[in-house]
Structure 1
């Protein structure tokens, strides 16, 4: 351990994917940045024995939750025991190169006005293609944003670092003092949009969100929830509206809800119906109903 380096707490959440998590931890063992603590939170995996993770990597801290707390809640358990100057939240379905941490730490050390930083994210199945090189601002009508560089070749065109509209939950580093000031992720989201909500909280506190392409990870993407599962349909549809309700001004919230009511919701319902995707239809309907029956949102 190099005590001259700030301590980085690396937090990852496991859910029924011990071998996937082990693959990540294997790559973390090769990091050239040595002052780290690794915290694995098992989110009450029903079909997995996370003890194999601790047996294989005795140096890590394994926290076993008694219930599935979702992405935000699982990571927040890790935050509560983390001792690092900087906290890195990283998906368990990722692989990191050995020099991954240094550019992220240096970015936050050089500019204390940065509240979050994400690396370039590339697809594990094809490392020549980009998944994330920053985000566009959230569209006030559709409540969607676009990942810059998505599916583009990593040919150097997306190697300019700088402020971006939002963070990527697959890999994001946050200074400990920012979390103390702003608070942890809102656990109401459970899955999806929680990192965007957190980014908005941090921006409102006066910090910027940063993209650092000198660092990168490889992402296997949506292993625990499924790429097109009804679970994913439910939480994305529900939380898209939750995000707007929590973060848009009254004027933009009114516009976005009008668009959702007249265009987006009918379009999705008809699409699921015509395709015979009845499980997705039910999940989407339940997501809208949840927002209609939950008038007060937690802060």
Structure 2
């Protein structure tokens, strides 16, 4: 946070048509909604604050929108240890809610979902779908996947383009992270189950319980086996998913 005043001064310098907006408390989905309301372009590009990219990033995003059927674009996301590959897919989302990411592939292809640190969406689509869901919190898992499913339900395609590449540094601090002990695990339980209650058949809910076993175990060790907060988050996720939007 210390260099923030210098960053703000640079962005608001003479001749720069850039606005620097802040939001309190921090929230990924609320920040996206604010950016949508305050921006003017026909394409809105979302980038995390810890990504590095070349000067041709925007051009490669925009070139995909020459096809009117494309509602959103995801670029390649590299990070420490990631390797480029020639697999014909960038992401998979199964009926059971398993989510496989391969946003490092060299192959341009259609994708079923989005990865929020390097994605763009057509404003027309944003207007049709509406706001990002503010119920997601903490680590904000699934928020962009939720939005991607709504984009596809409107009949639009999501295009993955490896030319629109960023390097994701994955800084451990800042952003919308909550430093409170256990909050990451609590938000994992809420966000996972909230998404599942909304979109995944209850036949597959035991699959999520199995996948989350390490979350529950680690939380129990951290809180002397007091799992009450996790059960409350699970119940809250169910209540939110059944409440009128």
TM-score in terms of structure 2 length: 0.81
Q: How does 1:109-148 map to 2 (within 5 A)?
A: 109=66, 111-123=67-79, 125=80, 129=83, 134-137=90-93, 139-141=94-96, 143-148=97-102
Is 1:167 the equivalent of 2:119?
no
Query: Which ranges of structure 2 fall in alignment gaps of 5 or more residues?
Result: none
Paired residues, what number? 231
From 127, 152, 162, the counterpart of 1:180: 127
Paired residue for 1:28?
none
Tell me, yes or no, if the aligned pair for 1:140 and 1:255 is still in contact at 8 Å: no
Give the secondary structure class of the aligned counterpart of 1:136: strand
Give the secondary structure class of the aligned counterpart of 1:83: coil
Paired residue for 1:290?
236
Q: How far, CA to CA, are the matches of 2:28 and 2:132 in structure 1?
A: 9
Return the structure number with greater relative CO, CA threshold 8 A, min gap 6.
Answer: 2
Tell me, yes or no, if the aligned pair for 2:76 and 2:103 is still in contact at 8 Å: no
Tell me, yes or no, if the aligned pair for 1:188 and 1:298 is still in contact at 8 Å: no
- Structure 1 residues 293, 163: closer, same or farther in 2, change over 3 A? closer
Q: How far, CA to CA, are the matches of 1:280 and 1:74 in structure 2?
A: 35
Is 1:61 the equivalent of 2:15?
no
Paired residue for 1:92?
49
Q: How far, CA to CA, are the matches of 2:83 and 2:178 in structure 1?
A: 21
- Structure 1 residues 257, 287: closer, same or farther in 2, change over 3 A? same
Paired residue for 1:234?
186
Tell me, yes or no, if the aligned pair for 1:166 and 1:199 is still in contact at 8 Å: yes
Give the secondary structure class of the aligned counterpart of 1:117: strand
Give RMSD over aligned pairs: 2.9
Is 1:79 the equivalent of 2:31?
no
Query: Which ranges of structure 1 fall in alignment gaps of 5 or more residues?
Result: 1-16, 20-49, 151-157
